[in-house]
Structures are given as structure tokens and as C-alpha cells.
Amino acid sequence: MRKNISAVLSLSFALAISTSIAYAQQAAPERKVSADQAADNTVQLMRQDIRSERKKIAAANLPLTEAEAVKFWPVYDRYVVEHSKIHDIRYALLKEYAQNYNTMTDEQANSFIKRWTAPEEQMAQLRLNWMPEFEKVIAPKKTAMFFQIDRRLGLMVELQLSSQIPLVRP
């Protein structure tokens, strides 16, 4: 499983984030809007690819019977909608960070890091809220396994993301 996750997410997410941050940090002022739009489009496509790959990885690693799968995947799709909203917040924070990277004040740095932790808390709460929904369609052990897979995938994405973001300048 690790090889599948690593190979798929490492390359695609690293490309998406590095492209986005590079455009945001290096764009000339007169081209900034088009560079931001290009970066947004690139990241949106990559996010769609990552969501698709996450689903494939979950499907490949979560042993579901045919009857369970019929019930599970619609719940999963609804869960992913909520999951994506939290990642939208994270992406907006990254864009803001990239735009302010060269001129960041102490106040902006403080605000950024506080707001950066909010999506992590929201993601944990999301998982807790959705556990009963998944347990309605699959056994608790399979629900636990799904959330382990989901968490591992999230950590892989987070690792790739974190490795592409330059540290705040002192």
C-alpha cells in the first residue's frame, strides 16, 4: 500500500504545489493575475487527480463485498465533498502565504500559523462526525480500516505539501 500511495501522490502533488507556489512567488506584477489563474487551474486539476487516486487506493486496500461497496461508495462520495471543503481552506491559506512570503510581517506569520492548524482540527472533527455514517454501511472494523487508510493518505499529501513550502524567513 505504501508504494502505491507514495508513487501516486508524491509526484502529482509535488508538481501541483511547487508549480502553484513558484508562480505565486515569481510572477511579475503585470502577469500576476494570469499566473495565479494558471496556478489555480493546475492545482484544481491535480486535486481532482489526487481525489481520483485516493478513491482508487481506498478501493484497492479496503476489502468490501459487492453489497458493502454498493452502500459504501455513495457515503464516501459525500464524505469527500466535506473533505474537499477543508482542503479548499488549506489551499487558500497557501495562496495567501505565497503572496505574502517576501513581505510577511510578524503579525501575518502569527495569524498564518494559527489559521494553518484550524483545518487539521476540522479534519479530525470531520472524521469523528462521519464515523457513524460509515458504520451504517460497513462494519466498525472496516470503518476503522477506512479511516486508517484515509489518514495515511492525508499524511502523505501533507508531507508532500510541507516539503514544498519554504519556511518563514526570520
Q: Which range, 32-36, 93-97, 119-123, is most confident?
A: 119-123
Burial category of 130 from C-beta neighbours within 10 Å (exposed 0-12, middle 13-18, buried 19 and up): buried
- Banded model confidence at residue 41, pLDDT cuts 50, 70, 90: low
Query: What are the domain boundaries of the chain?
Result: 2-164
Give the residue carrying C-alpha cell 476489502.
63
Cα dihedral across residues 23, 117, 12, 169: positive or negative = positive
pTM above 0.85, yes or no: no
What per-residue confidence (pLDDT) applies to 28?
40
Query: Radius of gyration of the chain from Cα atoms?
Result: 18
